[in-house]
Structure 1
Amino acid sequence: MHGPMSDTVILVIDMMNTYRHPDAETLIPHVEPIIDPLSRLVSEAHDRDDVELVYVNDNYGDFSAEFSDIVRSALDGERPDLVEPIVPQHGLRLMTKVRHSAFYATPLAYLLTQLKPDRLVLTGQVTEQCVLYTALDAYVRHFPVVIPRDGVAHIDPALGEAALQMMEQNMGAEIIAAADCLP
């Protein structure tokens, strides 16, 4: 575990996915290209004392599910190759969520007030849904948001691009490459 304050917090949003849902076929081709940059970012974060990794994943309506159950389901899903490279290692901060925003009904806001990050890097899926709503909730709480363009996946390309523009213009988010997220 790191100290009480971290310069950077990286959120990995909804990447523990079975890919057994109506949007999966449309989503998968947009997830495939983010796995390498995201896994490199996660790996680099593990080796840094000034970075916290926090996984926040939908419980998909199963309120008895532990985070490990969600990971196991994802690894047993349609595309374990999209899950294995970024499975959370032991000792990381893990939270389940019930709606789009990683802040909604989770202890994330409290954790971030304890860590006092200089930047909050949002990664994962889906750009125009959970990532966008998490960015808005971060913005209204005065957390500086960074979005790696190659670390988020969309379902609809036009909506994904619009979401990135909204985050940049309306929320002051910095849109950069995953490789540039950890100075």
Structure 2
Amino acid sequence: MTKSALVVIDMINTYDHDDAELLLPSAAEAVPVIARLLKRARAAVEDVPVIYVNDNFGEWRSHHGEILQTALTGPHAGLVEPLLPDDDSLFVVKARHSIFYETPLSYLLTQLDVDRVVLCGQVTEQCVLYSALDAHIRHLRVAVPEDAVAHIHADLAAAALRMMERNMGAEIAPADVLEF
């Protein structure tokens, strides 16, 4: 039996970084779709863990509260507010592109008996792609709702989605079609 987790990548964000201006329009389109995914996961009859995996922005803190507060006080708080973690959400801090690199995520997924990850967030052609590959090599099934990921470069994002589907066997589909 398959057990899925919804993984929200890097959406608790200040957008104060290189390429942010290129990312913002795509992020604004993805946020309402991710919000719907969060609502569906939280309402699911079967337990669907919601796991936020987020950059630490160079701030090594043991609690996600400061990362969240910084994003909520920034100029793009409107992109963060619809995606806030609830009391049941899990939060993993990462330092590099992949959600697995030097994080406890593999162990956490094993403890939750998860064998399929639904990856949403940003950036499609970077963190989402590298995370999908790392999930694949860990023998996890991967699904990516193509309308719930944000990109910097549309052409690279399209290529990344094709690579995930073709090379990793990822399920690529609109968010409303994907099942948990």
Superposed CA deviations along residues 34-86 of structure 1, whole A, max 9, x for unmatched, are 11111011011111233110000000111136211111111111211110000
C-alpha spacing 1:43/1:155, structure 2 compared with 1 (3 Å): same
Which residue of 1 is the match for residue 70 of structure 2?
A: 73
State the 4+ residue runs in structure 1 displaced beyond 6 angstroms: none
**Matched position secondary structure for 2:130:** helix
The answer to whether the 8 Å contact 2:10/2:53 transfers is: yes
Structure 1 residue 37 corresponds to structure 2 residue 33: yes
Match of 1:145 among 142, 146, 158: 142
**Matched position secondary structure for 1:94:** strand
Superposed CA deviations along residues 100-122 of structure 1, whole A, max 9, x for unmatched, are 00001111101112223242100
Structure 1 residue 109 corresponds to structure 2 residue 81: no
Could you tell me which runs of 5 or more consecutive residues in structure 1 were left unpaired when the two chains were aligned: none
The answer to whether the 8 Å contact 1:59/1:65 transfers is: no
**Matched position secondary structure for 1:95:** strand
Q: Name which of structure 1's ranges 8-17 and 56-65 shifts more when overlaid on structure 2.
A: 56-65
Could you tell me which runs of 5 or more consecutive residues in structure 2 were left unpaired when the two chains were aligned: none
Amino acid corresponding to residue 54 of structure 1 in structure 2 = I
**Matched position secondary structure for 1:36:** helix
**Matched position secondary structure for 2:176:** helix
The answer to whether the 8 Å contact 2:2/2:116 transfers is: no
Report % sequence identity.
50
| Deviation for aligned residue 1:19 | 1.0
- TM-score computed with the length of structure 2 as normaliser: 0.94
Amino acid corresponding to residue 59 of structure 2 in structure 1 = D
**Matched position secondary structure for 2:7:** strand
Which residue of 2 is the match for residue 20 of structure 1?
A: 16
Amino acid corresponding to residue 127 of structure 1 in structure 2 = T
How many residue pairs were aligned?
Answer: 179
**Matched position secondary structure for 2:49:** strand
Which residue of 1 is the match for residue 172 of structure 2?
A: 175
- TM-score computed with the length of structure 1 as normaliser: 0.93
Which residue of 2 is the match for residue 83 of structure 1?
A: 80
